[in-house]
Amino acid sequence: MNPLNLPSRTAGQHGPLPDFLPAEADVADVVSVIAPTGDRIWLVTAYDLGRAVLTDERFSRAAAVTPEAPAVHPMRPDPAALTSLDPPQHTRLRRLVNRPFTPRAVAGLEEGIRRQARRLLAGRDRIDLVAEYAMPLSATTICRVLGVPEAEHDRFAGLADRALGITTGTFEEQGPARDALRAYIRELIDRARRDPGEHVLGTLATAYDEGGALSHDELTALVELLLNAGYETSIGQLGLAVVSLLEHPDQWHRLATAPHRETAAAVEELLRHAPVVPMSFTRVARQDVRLGPVVVRAGEALVVSLLHANFDARAHRDPARLDITRCPARHLTFGHGAHTCLGAQLARTQLRVALEELATAASGLTPHIPLPSLPWRQPEAVVRGPLTLPVNLTGSGRSWGRRCSSQP
């Protein structure tokens, strides 16, 4: 059995979650659940077993996006998307978009992210950390990576917000909004084909036009994935991180009095404690595979509960406790193996800088409304997070001075 030791379902820790995710403190390493689609899915909850599944080529992503495959969500992923492919197709496409997400490339973006964060916070007594901080910061960052003109950042953010339900929280209008976002993406691609420039859009357009390295469907799916993933997940993760810190004022105080160089440890713990995506992508077994006490038969589907794995007491000491000095804070929030999140380094940097600047501007940060009354994205949403997060920037900047503890 998996000694999960999850705390009670607080807003900061979980928000609303899909009903089929077990909330028990003691749950088996692999359990059978019924998804909203009516399909039976194997759910892996153990950290080590989940980590192994995410690297096991006997479980296929491509097989999981076929029309007949069991599914967790009724909205099927695009079969041409990078996240829907197995090697070698996945390897080929990932190689095309790796360069702007290397540590060196991301480091080159940090100063711009920091300047914008300071501008967004300057002169404010109160701010909605979703609409007025996370959204513009994330939009500018991913648009800069891709090469979207600065004058169109607000246009992109508005389209993405409606298409993804970041602040609306409803699914009713998302279909037409997604069509509008895809039309804009096609417009960006057409422009990049005429004038590639020195950005990801240009690189991909050139690979399509000159090298034949990817198809039109792959090109469109790649750009859509990068825009959505680099925007939506960054917004949700910052909101979850701040709510978690507000629920634990002692940890916010530690962050506000820690040196900038130690904030990286806090980021890893917050990623572990409040993963923006609670589950991995679905995979389908290519053959019969024994996982712990069960055998997953060929054709059956499984997902890894990233949330449960991040709280497995065999991998994390006292996992229910938020400790921003925990070293190391191991987690599966970005996945593992070939499908590790492409933008993980960028997401870490953006979260770290956003928290550093927020802590410097408002060491006495407080919620403007009670945390239990925060509105959240619906439990069916793939990406979690508060729809709004109004806070008071009541504190003043403080000196930094605490180092990371050695606790695992």
Q: Which residue has the higher pLDDT, 295 or 182?
A: 295
Backbone phi, psi, residue 200, to 5°: -60, -40
Under 8 Å between Cβ of 53 and 268: no
> Can you tell me the distance from the alpha carbon of 145 to that of 234, in angstroms, rounded to the nearest whole number?
14
- The helix (H) or strand (E) run that includes residue 267 is helix 263-273
**Mean pLDDT score across all residues of the chain:** 87
Nearest to 320 by CA among 312, 332, 329: 312
Domain 2-392 has CATH 1.10.630.10: yes
pLDDT for 210 equals: 74
pLDDT of 61 > 90? The answer is yes
Quick one: DSSP state of residue 244? Answer: H
CB 297 within 8 Å of CB 30: no
Give me 369's structure tokens. 């409304």
pLDDT in tens, 355-379: 999 999 998 999 999 999 999 998 8
Helix (H) or strand (E) holding 347: helix 344-361
pTM: 0.91
* 87 Cβ contact partners less than 8 Å away, ≥ 6 residues apart: 57, 338
Q: What is the pLDDT of residues 372-406, one digit of tens each?
A: 999 999 887 888 999 999 999 975 443 333 344 43
Contact partners, residue 21, CB within 8 Å, separation at least 6: 33, 43, 278, 279, 305, 307, 308
pLDDT of amino acid 139 = 94
**Is residue 325 a contact partner of residue 265, using CB atoms and an 8 Å limit?**
yes
Over the stretch 179-227, which tens digit does the pLDDT of each residue have? Answer: 898 899 999 999 999 988 888 888 888 888 776 778 888 888 888 888 8
Q: In whole angstroms, how far apart are CA 154 and each of 59, 337, 365, 391?
A: 40, 35, 27, 23
Tokens representing 345 are: 């380094």
100 pLDDT band (50/70/90 cuts)? Answer: confident
Boundaries of every domain in the chain:
2-392
- Token pair in block for residue 193: 């084909």
- pLDDT of 3 above 60: no
pLDDT of residue 330: 93
How much is the pLDDT for 71? 93
Q: Could you tell me whether strands 294-296 and 366-367 are parallel, antiparallel, or unpaired per DSSP bridges?
A: unpaired
